[in-house]
Each structure stands twice: as structure tokens, then as C-alpha cells.
Amino acid sequence: MTAHFRPIRRRGIPRLSRNQWGSGTSVWAADDHRAPDVDQITVAEGVAPPPYIRDVLELTAGETVCVRTRRYIMEGRPVMLSASYLPQHLVTDSPITQADTGPGGIYARLADLGHAPAHFREEIRVRMPSADEAAQLAIPADRTVIKLVRTAFDADGRAVEINEMTMDSAAYVLEYAFDA
């Protein structure tokens, strides 16, 4: 990152509020009024998930996922890689399988399908990047990345999306403010 780059303040709790995505507003709007742009996006359907994804999504052998991968940039610099895994049978023929999911993004579309996120779990780790991650993020191989994995659950407690985010650690401040 250049010396003038101001880290993105990611407000973890307000950004996932139903009021945010349910109103058609991007989750990024809850952050510090700067939203990164997506410069690369792919959507792949009918993908055999890795075992840990299959287990969390409670898929049976042979069930597939829709995988949405994105690279986000801010001020011309890559800041995050993201891969969302959604049960294929849940999202087939929906806007989730398109590059542009529409207002409110994936969560609003899951709500349209009757599987609105009702609960989220985020797990955060800091680690060294793989060679591919360092190249995609244009960072030195010795700079850490933040690995944030968010699972969205519907009202029945079923996991409906897993989003694996790999963030340049110099580009983010993770903020979690909540009542006691």
C-alpha cells in the first residue's frame, strides 16, 4: 500500500444487519463511506465443494455448489479476494448465479428465495499468504493476510452461504461494536 492509503474500516456488525441488505443497500455502505470496486468476478455452477464446505453446508456426496469469486480493489490497489459458496439446488436459476445479483446483493436474493440470513458466524485468522494470494493482492510474500470466513444461516439454522475472504492486512481495520 502506498503511504497515503487509508485503511478500510470494516464495521462487522452493522454491515450484516437485515436493515442494510434488506433495503437494497450494499453491505459496504455500513463501512467508512468508501466501497471497493470489483475488478474481477466469476460465477461457476455445479462445482464439487471441498469437504469442509460440503460439511458446513450439510450437503450430501454428489451435491454441488455455486461459487462466486471476486477481487476487490480500492484506489487502484487489490485489497481483498472473496469466494462465496452456496448450495446449487438453492440458487439455480436465480440472480445469485449472475455476475450482478441486484440491489442488496446475495443476502437480499437469498431472502427472495425464502432463505434470508437470520444469523451469521465469522471466524478470523491471520496468516501468511499463499504465493497465488500474494500475487493476486499484489503484496509482498512476507505481509500477512486476514482470512475471514463468514457463514450465513437461515431462520431454520441451515447454513446457506460460506464466504471466504482473504484481505491484505495493511488495507483493513476490523471493527466490532455491540451492546453488552
Give residue 1's pLDDT: 44
Give residue 26's pLDDT: 59
Give residue 176's pLDDT: 77
Strand, coil or helix: what is 11?
Answer: strand
Give residue 133's pLDDT: 98
CATH superfamily of this structure's domain 8-175 = Chorismate lyase-like (3.40.1410.10)
Bridge pairing between strands 8-11 and 172-175: parallel
DSSP structure string for 20-33: HHTTT--GGGGSSS
Give residue 178's pLDDT: 72
Strand, coil or helix: what is 159?
Answer: strand
Whole-angstrom distance, CA of residue 13 vs CA of residue 28: 12
Whole-angstrom distance, CA of residue 133 vs CA of residue 50: 18
DSSP structure string for 63-124: --EEEEEEEEEETTEEEEEEEEEEEHHHHTTSGGGSS---TTHHHHHHHHTT----EEEEEE
Residue ranges of domains in the chain? 8-175
pLDDT average per 10 residues of sequence, the chain (180 residues): 67 57 55 77 98 97 97 94 98 96 92 95 96 97 96 97 96 80
Q: Model pTM?
A: 0.85
Give residue 31's pLDDT: 56
Whole-angstrom distance, CA of residue 6 vs CA of residue 92: 39
The phi, psi pair for 107, rounded to 5°, reads -70, -40
